[in-house]
A and B are shown apart, each in its own frame.
Chain A
């Protein structure tokens, strides 16, 4: 019996210590902007999900494509139906690793720059992706932000000739996530 209770305590601490390194959010904000002389288009999604393990460095980020809100109804319709085909491919997912995060002392406030690299899946096309992420540890929470550009053509998104001048070939993306410890 005693052996059993020791076993459970050991398992509990194992889970507990592993859990202490994991951070997550369900309300990451993703915005993107397509700027051309003809037209400026931007959209925001406030329900991005991110789970980041600061022990192993594994990070996973997912967003529902249909959650992007545009200013104009027609833009949103074209984005979903013609370009992202979001009924067929509802999610965009990034899975990767953060380099050297096990060396970050999460109990101390401070700013860090971390490189992440992995695979980004958009519109059912998966490509290698890497980028720098700014981390700020503050009172046990971690706010993260990153900027990058996506070449629309890389992900098999075809823009018709008629609107080619209205949609940028490279779309600027901003991600902001405030991570909390996973309990």
Chain B
């Protein structure tokens, strides 16, 4: 009988500990995230332009690496060029300090999570790949 109680206690502690660990787990760092797709910024824009619903299924929540030319630098990130002057890939940076060495017209490779398309296709938590 006593053995049961001890086992129950152990289980409760392990369960509680696991729950607490999961609850407090920080987000996986972008560096450590597995890349799902590698493509050019202009191709990503093209896919969203052609069929937004299909592109959402393919890219939403996915970690993508896009390469392209910096069109514009914003408060929170950069916008990469595409073949369409009105649309680009807006990369919102996880750490704004990463922006300080970037200039317009630079060729860059960015890793981030695709969250969808507003005026631009948006990548959140972006980092620069060296």
Q: Which A residues lie at the B interface, using CB under 8 A?
A: 26-27, 29, 46-47, 49, 62-67, 69, 71-74, 76, 80, 87, 90-91, 178
Contacts and interface: CB of A to CB of B under 8 A. Distances in A.
B27 A76 contact: yes
A29 B96 CA distance: 14
* 8 nearest CB pairs, A to B: A66-B115, A46-B76, A49-B118, A64-B115, A90-B116, A64-B116, A73-B27, A67-B115
B46 interface: no
B115 A87 contact: no
Contacts of B56: 87, 90
B122 A72 contact: no
B1 interface: no
A178 B90 CA distance: 17
B5 interface: no
B25 A74 contact: yes
Contacts of A47: 76-77, 90, 92, 115, 118, 122, 124
Given A27-B76, A90-B60, A90-B116, A67 B92 contact: yes
B61 interface: yes
A65 to B, nearest CB: 8
Contact of A26 (B27, B61, B113, B118): B118
Interface of B: 22-28, 56, 60-61, 74-77, 79, 90, 92, 113, 115-120, 122, 124-125
The secondary-structure label for the interface of chain A is: strand
Contact of A73 (B25, B75, B92): B25
A69 B27 CA distance: 10
A53 to B, nearest CB: 15
B115 A62 contact: no
Given A26-B90, A64-B115, A69 B124 contact: yes
B5 to A, nearest CB: 26
A74 B22 contact: yes
Contacts of B28: 73
A72 B75 contact: no
10 contacts: A29-B76, A47-B115, A49-B118, A62-B118, A67-B92, A69-B125, A73-B28, A74-B22, A74-B23, A87-B56
